[in-house]
A = this chain, B = another copy of it.
Amino acid sequence: MKKLQDSIVGFIGLGLMGGALAMGLRKQGPKKITGYDINSEVIEKALNQSVIDEGVTDSQGLQQMLAACDLVFICLSPMDALAFLALYMEDFKPGAIITDIAGVKGVIFNNLGNLLRKDIDFIPGHPMAGSEKEGYGGADDRIFQNRNYILTPLPSNQPENIAFIREIVTALGFNHIVETTCAIHDEKIAFTSQLCHVIAAALVDCEDDLSITDFEGGSFGDLTRIAMINAPMWTELFMCNRKNLLNQVEKFEASLAIMKAMIKAEEKTELIDRLTAVRKKRVIMGEIRDAKSLKKK
């Protein structure tokens, strides 16, 4: 297994997630951290904060950087990650481990075809953490504490390289690492993440009273925090996972319609039974997740 202290780690994109991952990696003592971002102010800031040791902003610098990296985190949106892989596939160091953070998986791997080099090991990943902030300025590695990290390994991945990623991710603070397929990832994520963002956005969208927060008791705040959305990024995620997302929206609409009908028809007993079942289910969902934690809070 590779050792982090002997590895040069490269970050492609130092946004909210790339920045936070680099900050967390720094604490694990790799040999060197290098970063690529098109925004030179971000590179400067990351250098000043010693989050990266070297930074590049242009294509030529990027090629040189990639040739030296033992481990690369591609921290771009799905379509940018796909474009990056297509453009720079030849520049990775032989034997390098490559991973990414894209919130949808199918679109990348279905379109990558046989571009993927056999002498590098690409292990797709998705850190299930985020923030309503944006960009490097909002990056903070504390968001990783006790979160899920999903890996969607390819059949070609080396077990020791997967173990290497798992070790790094655990040290970052994630306490449950899930290995699954791209297809299952995209189906489940359409529910837990994308549908939730659509609901939060629709909830804010449908209310015109800007002083509605006078009547806020916590619920509205909890349900709409994620409506402070990075609009282009989430539009891309929605579009890249359109079919799964539309299925999930319809599933939710059906449940909502049933509850609405019960309220309309004043079916009190039926509604109490349904809400009791919901409470029980939600409690069990939480308990199942807690039981899987690598370490307790």
Binding site for B on A (CB under 8 A): 127-130, 147-148, 150, 176, 178, 180, 185, 188-189, 191-193, 195-207, 209-220, 222-229, 231-232, 234-235, 238-239, 242, 245-246, 249, 251-256, 258-260, 263-264, 266, 268, 271-279, 281-286, 288-289, 292
Contact = CB atoms under 8 A, between A and B. Distances in A.
Given A238-B263, A282-B228, A254 B206 contact: yes
Contact of A223 (B185, B196, B209, B254): B196
Contacts of A239: 263, 266, 268
A231 B272 contact: yes
A225 B225 CA distance: 13
A197 to B, nearest CB: 7
Residue from A178, A231, A266 with most neighbouring chain B CB atoms (10 Å): A231
B222 A225 contact: yes
Contacts of A253: 253, 256, 260
Given A224-B282, A272-B231, A192 B206 contact: no
Contacts of A278: 201, 204-205, 227, 229, 231
A134 to B, nearest CB: 10
B235 A275 contact: yes
A191 B214 contact: no
B178 A214 contact: yes
Nearest to A215: B188
Contacts of A147: 217-218
B211 A192 contact: no
A234 B268 CA distance: 10
A130 to B, nearest CB: 6
A225 B196 CA distance: 13
Contacts of A150: 214-215
Nearest to A200: B223
Contact of A219 (B193, B232, B271): B193
A258 B202 CA distance: 9
Contact of A216 (B192, B229, B246, B275): B192
Contact of A217 (B148, B220, B223, B286): B148
A36 to B, nearest CB: 25
Sort A-B residue pairs by CB-CB distance and give the 5 closest, nearest first: A128-B217, A213-B289, A231-B275, A206-B255, A196-B219
A75 to B, nearest CB: 16
A18 to B, nearest CB: 17
B192 A219 contact: yes
Contact of A206 (B197, B252, B279): B252
A259 B215 contact: no
A232 B285 CA distance: 22
Nearest to A232: B272
A259 B198 contact: yes
Given A205-B274, A227-B282, A289 B256 contact: no
A219 B281 CA distance: 17
